[in-house]
Amino acid sequence: MPSRLMRDLMDFTGESFLEGLRSRRILVTGATGLIGSSVIKALVQAAKTKDLDIRITAVIRDQTKADRIFKDTDLSLVTFKILDMNGLKATDIPDSDYVIHCASITESRAFVEHPAEVIETSVNGTKALLEYARLRKVSGFVYLSTMEVYGNPGKGIRVTEDQACAIDPSKVRSSYPLSKMMCENLCICYASEFKIPVKIARLTQTFGPGVSPADSRLYAYFAKCAIEGSDIVLNTRGETERCYCYLADAVTAIITLLLKGEAGEVYNVATDGTYCSVADMAEMVASRYGISVTYDLKGASGKGFADTLYIDLNTDKLRSLGWRSKDITILDMIDSVVESLREDVP
């Protein structure tokens, strides 16, 4: 039986506009991450469904992990191992027609424990890939950014792409959103000066089937509590409110932007109807799985949690390209992670 992700993507992988990928070469960084690996699997399925003859170069750091993730892949993958993005050179990678740049440090703890490395890896890696794109004269480039670049727009605001971004540079945790902002500007500069067809996807927090058991982010923690029957312990009051993105929606948005997005433009990416607070999500999961929610506000120190935020992304610009999110609730999304993690148990 196809995986949950492939079932979710079945209709999309038959879309007529994917013909634009026929006989093309696609470079995907962060290829063993949740989003990068899912993009590759969708491209493989589209190639199989429509006989597209796509060739993929997967940029990885862990060969064993790549072998496990892509073991059932029908399409041959060329893997290129790099220990970090800083040493990447355009001549190191085979020619590609398209680039999807998913690689990034995304663990909150790293933002406060290794902030300099977060900035260096993000900015230098993106600069190297943009140079690669310039020299190879690619037909399309998608950079994965984050909703965190908006800072804290405020409660009750539907945030559009022209919303001013405000990040406090005096805070160590700002290493992540500020590095993403710098990368976005690099992309815009390369689009303007060198005519690189770069499109920027500002994703909200994304999850779905395929989340690693080692993932420590809240959605994975909630799902693991549900499986184990243990109470959810929050280290904050859970007042942050945001929308979320289902994994299949992120994948379809990225590929849509690659082929249909406007060069030099930014697009919000989120699943409709998922806006809620962290506390509300915890309570929904607890109610569904018969567990409780407790609070340990002394346990937050050193974990790199963001301040309380209110970010509700407006996706009208992305929808104008013909993209639509799936009809799925935030609790359905958590259920998909629970189902996936249960399947991953030996």
- Domain boundaries of the chain, sorted by first residue: 4-209+244-274+312-327
From 91-95, 122-126, 282-286, 327-331, the region with the lowest mean pLDDT = 91-95
* Residue spans of beta strands (DSSP E) within the chain: 25-29, 55-60, 77-81, 98-101, 140-146, 158-159, 198-203, 206-207, 232-234, 241-242, 245-246, 265-269, 276-277, 293-295, 310-313
What pLDDT, on a 0 to 100 scale, did the predictor assign at position 199?
Answer: 98
What are the tens digits of pLDDT across the range 33-79?
Answer: 999 999 999 999 999 899 999 999 888 877 788 888 888 775 555 56
Q: Is 331 strand, coil or helix?
A: helix
Write down the H helix ranges in 31-87: 34-50, 63-69
What are the tens digits of pLDDT across the range 121-139?
Answer: 899 889 989 998 998 999 9
CA angle 166, 170, 174 (to 5 degrees): 60
User: What gap in Å lies between CA 301 and CA 314, rounded to an integer?
Assistant: 32
What are the tens digits of pLDDT across the range 217-262?
Answer: 899 999 999 999 999 999 889 999 999 999 999 999 999 999 999 9
CA 58: distance to chain centroid?
A: 16
The answer to whether the pTM exceeds 0.85 is yes
Q: Which of 201, 200, 198, 240 is nearest to 217 (CA)?
A: 240
Place of tokens 């984050």: 146
Mean pLDDT of the chain: 89
**How many residues are present in the chain?**
346
Residues 6+ apart with CB under 8 A from 258: 98, 100, 140, 142, 199
DSSP conformation class of 307: P
Q: Which of 2, 70, 65 is nearest to 39 (CA)?
A: 70
Question: What CATH superfamily is the domain 4-209+244-274+312-327?
Answer: NAD(P)-binding Rossmann-like Domain (3.40.50.720)
| Residue 185 vs residues 235, 261, 273: alpha-carbon distances, Å | 34, 17, 30
What pLDDT, on a 0 to 100 scale, did the predictor assign at position 85?
Answer: 47
User: What gap in Å lies between CA 222 and CA 231, rounded to an integer?
Assistant: 9
